[in-house]
């Protein structure tokens, strides 16, 4: 990247992966699959300032609906994220999940998480992500796919961190729900701020859903974020499920905790409705 712009040659992903990412193949027999009855669902192309990125979109077949940006896990826009979009569409939302690693690499074919992090994820600039999410909102608005005056965002793991950052970035959002997104970390040129750094500048209320047994996000980090939000008098909330690990919503992985996942999903719906997304 030079001066905030990207070249077309840097786009290495032009279509979404099919099925589950290689590093996240289902380990559970009861993986949830949401059908497309009554929905318009499939891959779309989002124009950006420097080219285009693929995205998955699901929406009810009729009516102008509130829009939800769905931000991928570390594994990209694979089957689980697509299914989340379909679940949201069944609730009456237009849900769009842009592939935010499109310039840096295809993580769907990588079997090792450390390779995913070092070769792709660590090279994805926050500035690029914010720009691509803005482009996705612009596409929803211009295409008439959804009502961007009623706009929310939700994301998981890597995407949970992005939810907090985008809630401080976008003036168009109404609300956000962050699932076990990292709150603190060592900044670097591509990732200059963490959620705790933007707590005082959040533009919209964010609901954080976290696991008390998450080995990567310790309880003291969550408490520091709570204190930062309270000090800034922000109407955001954090819910912690004491025995839940990281990835407790990922129904295709051993980390899945049905009770916490179900409660979190209900809270997401109530949060969106509370903040004008009904």
Per-residue pLDDT tens over the stretch 6-62 = 444 467 787 887 777 777 766 565 788 999 999 999 999 999 989 999 999 999 998
Extract the residue ranges of the chain whose pLDDT is less than 70: 1-10, 25-29
Q: Using CA atoms, how far apart are residues 196 and 175, in angstroms rounded to an integer? A: 17
pLDDT of res. 108 = 84
pLDDT of res. 9 = 43
pLDDT of res. 30 = 72
pLDDT of res. 7 = 45
pLDDT of res. 84 = 98
CA–CA distances in Å: residue 88 to residues 99, 188, 193, 206: 18, 34, 29, 18
pLDDT of res. 170 = 98
pLDDT of res. 32 = 86
Query: Is 169 assigned a catalytic role?
Result: no
Q: Using CA atoms, how far apart are residues 28 and 63, in angstroms rounded to an integer? A: 36
Q: HSE, CB side, 13 Å, CA atoms: give it for residue 194.
A: 15
pLDDT tens per residue across span 105-125: 999 888 888 999 999 999 999
Q: Using CA atoms, how far apart are residues 165 and 168, in angstroms rounded to an integer? A: 5
Single out the catalytic residue among 80, 169, 246, 249: 246
Single out the catalytic residue among 157, 169, 251, 275: 157
Single out the catalytic residue among 50, 106, 126, 214: 214
pLDDT of res. 11 = 78
Query: Is 40 assigned a catalytic role?
Result: no
Query: Is 85 assigned a catalytic role?
Result: no
pLDDT of res. 29 = 56
Asked whether 220 and 189 are in contact (CB, 8 A), the reply is: no
Q: Using CA atoms, how far apart are residues 73 and 117, in angstroms rounded to an integer? A: 12
Q: How many residues does the chain have?
A: 278
């Amino acid at each position: 990247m030079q001066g905030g712009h990207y070249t077309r040659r840097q786009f290495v992903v032009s279509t979404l992966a099919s099925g589950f990412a290689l590093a996240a193949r289902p380990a559970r027999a009861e993986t949830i699959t949401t059908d497309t009855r009554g929905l318009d669902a499939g891959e779309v192309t989002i124009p950006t300032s420097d080219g285009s990125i693929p995205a998955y979109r699901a929406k009810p077949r009729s009516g102008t609906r509130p829009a939800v940006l769905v931000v991928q896990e570390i594994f990209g826009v694979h089957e689980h994220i697509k299914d989340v979009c379909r679940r949201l569409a069944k609730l009456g939302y237009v849900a769009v999940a842009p592939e935010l690693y499109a310039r840096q690499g295809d993580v769907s074919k990588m079997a090792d998480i450390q390779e995913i992090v070092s070769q792709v994820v660590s090279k994805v600039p926050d500035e690029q992500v914010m720009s691509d999410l803005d482009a996705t909102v612009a596409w929803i608005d211009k295409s008439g796919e959804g009502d961007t005056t009623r706009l929310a965002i939700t994301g998981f793991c890597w995407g949970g961190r992005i939810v907090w950052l985008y809630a401080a970035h976008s003036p168009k959002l109404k609300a956000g729900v962050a699932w076990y997104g990292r709150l603190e970390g060592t900044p670097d040129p591509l990732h200059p701020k963490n959620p705790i750094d933007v707590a005082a500048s959040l533009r919209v209320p964010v609901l954080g859903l976290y696991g008390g047994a998450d080995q990567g996000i310790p309880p003291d980090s969550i408490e520091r974020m709570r204190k930062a939000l309270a000090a800034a008098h922000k109407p955001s909330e954090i819910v912690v499920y004491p025995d839940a690990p990281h990835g407790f919503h990922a129904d295709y992985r051993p980390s899945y905790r049905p009770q916490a996942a179900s409660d979190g999903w209900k809270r997401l719906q109530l949060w969106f409705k509370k903040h004008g997304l009904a």
